[in-house]
Amino acid sequence: MTERCAICGCQLHRTTGTYARPTPEGHSHASSHHYVAERFFGRSTNRGGQREALFRVCPWEQEGKTAVFCYDCHEELLHNPVLLKQDIFELAELVKRRGLAEDEKTESRDKAARRVEPLHEVIVRGLGAILAEERGG
Ligand SMILES: [Zn+2]
């Protein structure tokens, strides 16, 4: 069975030493990505150490779950979402409206954790709206 990227659908491979090479082979190397970042649970597999957890329980019940992607979809697309000035301005308004803005930081990471949810909601609602439009087209 051919392993394929969960987003673009390209054929993946796991040839040692080719990941991220500037070649079709480098761009199609399989790589696993957590749906909800490990750092939110106080872990970081690629940095070894322990960090402060943002979530004790995953709000989406997806802790530790992963999908497999190509280099392009994982490293370029998923790790670098584009948020322009107006997008940040509107996200800040949403954060304020939901009572998740902060004046001075405290020991609590509660608001920081809860700010992760509206951004995910933007993605869910945006995808839903765009797909409804394109399917109904
Ligand atoms: Zn891909």
- pLDDT for residue 83 is more than 60: yes
pLDDT for the residue 45:
56
* CB of 71 closer than 8 Å to CB of 19: yes
CA of 104 to the centre of ligand 1 (A): 40
For 127, phi then psi, to 5°, come to -65, -45
Q: What is the pLDDT of residues 94-116, one digit of tens each?
A: 999 999 999 999 999 999 999 99
CA of 127 to the centre of ligand 1 (A): 18
What does the domain layout of the chain look like in residue ranges? 1-80, 81-137
- pLDDT for residue 47 is more than 60: no
- Spatial neighbors of 63 by CB under 8 A, at least 6 apart, are 36, 41, 55, 57
Q: pLDDT > 70: what percent of the chain?
A: 94
Q: What is the mean pLDDT of residues 41-69?
A: 85
pLDDT for the residue 43:
76
Q: What is the mean pLDDT of residues 70-83?
A: 96
Q: How would residue 46 be classed by pLDDT, with cut points 50, 70 and 90?
A: low
* CB of 106 closer than 8 Å to CB of 98: no
Q: What is the mean pLDDT of residues 41-59?
A: 79
CA of 76 to the centre of ligand 1 (A): 10
Higher pLDDT, 125 or 42: 125
Ion ligand 1 — residues with CB < 5 Å: 5, 7-8, 70, 73
User: In 3D, which of 3, 47, 1 has the Cα closest to residue 29?
Assistant: 3
Predicted TM-score (pTM) of the model is 0.88
Triad 42, 84, 72: Cα angle to 5°: 60
What 3 state SS string does 15-80 have?
CCCCCCCCCHHHHCECEEEECCCHHHHCECCCCCCECCCCCCCCCCCCCCCEEEECHHHHHHHHCC
CA of 56 to the centre of ligand 1 (A): 31
